[in-house]
Copies of this chain bind each other. A is one copy, B any other.
């Protein structure tokens, strides 16, 4: 593995993603212009694009066509963007800064932010039904089903509900883990599985290994987020740092302590790599990506 190579690849994915999102989002020139403006504002020009990288890296394992992966990744990223827009609203986390810019309800208004999230979710599903993502339409339906579960009350939205309920409460570690498996883990797992499904059919065992990889990476992502939130300042992070601690939200660092959380992240990384043991070099981007997710500094 060559870190320089990975950096080049990840920049390529980010560039490709930005171009795909720019094309797939409705232009500001068509009505309702303000809503389309807000959808583009909330989705374009920022973010680490971790989920698109997972889609593209998983697609390499099944030799998927990049144009299909671009559509699947755009759908995932629109869902991620919508979740941030709603999560930042005053009735949720009430945050004013995201990716170094004013949050959508601050830049526009609350009602527009609400509708922006709603419309981004619809658009994500529209893309997944509109473009050919698999040679087999039945597989494409399966992809939409996986994706919808990951978004819903037994996935991301459910995780956010548990997160809200947890403010000011003391969770146990298993409870915290359950919350994160839903809140961020579900969409990360869906990203990997959707990328894989865009290509040649994989065996059930291969898909199970990829799912295990994604589960570990998803949890590691959250643990590292908590560590960074504890250690970093707002200017590096591009969002308000230390906010979870202030809001009295349970985090891995508050529950385990900083050094145990770091150890846990390393263990999850090892577990993710172990899950890929049976794959050939086509899984190298997934391997590098797991490293990147755990070792990132923002």
Residues of chain B with a CB closer than 8 A to A106's CB: none
Q: Which residues of B contact A161 (CB under 8 A)?
A: 32, 34-35, 112, 115, 119
Q: Mark A101-128, 1 if CB is under 8 A from B, else 0.
A: 0000000011110110111011101101
Q: Which of A147-155, A251-259, A272-280, A284-292 contacts B (4 or more CB under 8 A)?
A: A147-155
Main secondary structure of the interface of A (DSSP, over half): helix
Chain B residues near A86 (CB-CB < 8 A): 114-115, 118
How many interface residues does A have (CB within 8 Å)? 52
**Are A153 and B32 neighbours in the complex by a CB distance under 8 Å?**
yes
Let me know if A242 is at the binding interface, CB within 8 A: no
The reply to whether B91 and A110 contact each other, CB–CB distance below 8 Å, is yes
Task: Indicate whether A176 reaches chain B with its CB closer than 8 angstroms.
Answer: no
Chain B residues near A82: list those with CB within 8 A. 118
**Residues of B contacting A148 with CB < 8 Å?**
122-123, 125-126, 129-130
Interface residue A189 (Cβ < 8 Å from any Cβ of B):
no
A137 part of interface (Cβ distance < 8 Å):
yes
Q: With an 8 A cutoff between CB atoms, is A140 at the interface?
A: yes
Contacts of A149 in B (CB 8 A): 122, 126
Contact B121 A35 (CB under 8 A): no
Contact mask A84-111 → B, CB, 8 Å, 1/0? 0010010110000000000000000111
Q: Mark A190-232, 1 if CB is under 8 A from B, else 0.
A: 0000000000000000000000000000000000000000000
Oligomeric state, in copies = 2
A35: nearest chain-B partner, CB-CB: B161
CA distance A221 to B121 in the complex (A): 26
Distance of A161 Cα from B162 Cα, bound (Å): 29
Q: Is A22 an interface residue (CB 8 A)?
A: no
Is A158 close to B, CB under 8 A?
yes
13 sample A-B contacts, Cβ–Cβ < 8 Å, listed by A number: A26-B154, A32-B161, A39-B153, A89-B114, A91-B111, A122-B152, A123-B148, A125-B151, A126-B149, A129-B141, A129-B144, A137-B137, A141-B141
